[in-house]
Amino acid sequence: MVGIQVRKKAIFVHRKLLESVTHAFDGVSIDDFRALAKPSVVDRIPTLDVETFERFLTWLYSHSRHHYMGLQDVDALVALYCLSFPLSSEILRADALLQLSHMISLVSHCAHILHRT
């Protein structure tokens, strides 16, 4: 387990799991993680909030990763999509886009049905 500081809150995550989806922490020593002293990647994301990072961790630990993120909130999905860039996580980006496209498709389908009635 390693600690990452997000807006002064220490959040712990399994390092190997984190490294499996992002290269943003490559080169960060285990001592830097433990001390939470040096600015990390997440500290360089001015708009990152704890809730978004916790959603990222939920996605990271989820067994349904790569398929369905389980979010119905467009803002939350957009926040995860935006987070994928500083985290250099192509898989997070792809999953967020896939979920967003499903939501847009559903809204479009519903609008089409409502327009016919």
Contact 13, 44 (CB under 8 A): no
Contact 25, 18 (CB under 8 A): yes
Dist CA 53 CA 111 (whole Å) = 33
Given this model, what pLDDT does residue 36 score?
A: 46
pLDDT tens per residue across span 78-109: 899 999 988 888 999 998 888 888 887 766 66
Coil, strand or helix: which one is 16? helix
pLDDT tens per residue across span 28-52: 665 555 544 445 556 656 667 888 8
Pull the structure tokens for residue 104.
Answer: 């847009």
The letter for the amino acid at 18 is L
As a whole number, the mean pLDDT across the chain is 76
Phi, psi of 6 (to 5 degrees): -125, 115
| Global pTM value | 0.73
Residue 24 domain boundaries: 2-116
The CATH number that applies at residue 41 is 3.30.710
Dist CA 108 CA 34 (whole Å) = 47
Which position has the higher pLDDT, 102 or 116? 102
Q: Number of folded domains in the chain?
A: 1
pLDDT tens per residue across span 67-79: 555 667 888 888 9
The percent of residues above 70 in pLDDT, for the chain, comes to: 67
